[in-house]
Amino acid sequence: MLKNLYLQSISNIERVTIYSANHTEEKMGTNSLFDVIGPIMVGPSSSHTAGAAKLGKLARQLVHGEIVEVKFILYDSFARTYRGHGTGKALLGGVMGYDLDSEELKHAEMIATYQGLKFSFEEGQKDGIHPNSVDIHLIEASGKETILSGASVGGGNVAITSINGIETNLRTNLPAIVTHHRDRVGILSEITDILAKRNLNIAGMNLYRDAFGKNAYMVVEIDETFDEAISREIFESIDGIMDVFVLENR
């Protein structure tokens, strides 16, 4: 009942603020309704809970197997407030696949314990990073470990700053395809050819790599949702592709 009342109040806010937001767009051209009211979420903070949950969920989407353990290393503001603001529960709930407005986020630690998912939180120190930063270590039943580093940058928005040690600068709310591949000539055009044949429009594309001919990640943002079968096609038909992931970004 409380959740329904909350959603109803958000709906009322939307009706009230659309006129103001439209006029702001005429003057500045950059504001959206989401910027005005923020995400629909379980509180208390868009930075410390909604952004944290989104980071956890994005990390989960970079893993194909069963996660048996997750370690969170928290920095600066995240480290100081993760208990009081529910950041730890939000991160863990995101890894478990819960949406930003899911009531299960509040009970993520209890649910994880019941399901046998090991989790831990540590405080770390790094210079020159966003105050709401975290390293998420996901360990699969096979022993494979995936590490995502990121930050909650405000309003429920996030930045992925590295994937398995390769520096990135990914900030998007669009669905995306992430490829892990061996850097070689022509591989990018082969990937985009597959997307073009499926009539998918690319909104943005970024390549991150260790060095020429070494490990690389490419993130391709798509304007609309797409069939995840595309990821299998890319993996099976292009030489040098080691893995393909789909980021739902919702």
State yes or no: pLDDT of 102 exceeds 90. Answer: no
State yes or no: pLDDT of 163 exceeds 90. Answer: yes
Note down the domain range covering 133.
46-167
- Number of structural domains in the chain: 2
**Same domain? 119 vs 223:** no
- Model confidence over 180-228: pLDDT tens digits? 999 999 999 999 999 999 999 999 999 999 889 899 999 999 999 888 8
Read off the tokens for 113.
């314990």
Report the share of the chain in percent with pLDDT over 70.
Answer: 80
Q: Which of 7-16, 133-142, 155-164 has the lowest mean pLDDT?
A: 7-16
Q: Within 10 A of 47 (CB to CB), how many other CB atoms are there?
A: 24
Question: Which of 145, 148, 146, 129 minimizes the C-alpha distance to 78?
Answer: 129
Give the pLDDT mean for 62-82: 92
CA distance 219 to 58: 13
- For 15-39, give the DSSP string: HHHHHHHHHHHHHHS---HHHHH--
Specify the pTM.
0.78
**What CATH number is associated with residue 131?**
3.30.1330.90
∠ CA 162-100-98, rounded to 5°: 85
**Same domain? 197 vs 159:** no
Edge to edge, the sheet with strand 241-247 lists: 202-209, 215-222, 176-182, 241-247
Q: Token pair 């993760």 is at which residue?
A: 82
Edge to edge, the sheet with strand 157-163 lists: 118-124, 67-75, 133-140, 145-154, 157-163, 166-170
Q: Which of 13-17, 107-111, 213-217 has the lowest mean pLDDT?
A: 13-17
**Same domain? 162 vs 182:** no
Read off the tokens for 18.
């659309």
**Domain boundary, last residue among 167, 198, 227:** 167
**Same domain? 64 vs 135:** yes
Average pLDDT, the chain: 82
State yes or no: pLDDT of 5 exceeds 50. Answer: no
Give the pLDDT mean for 112-141: 95
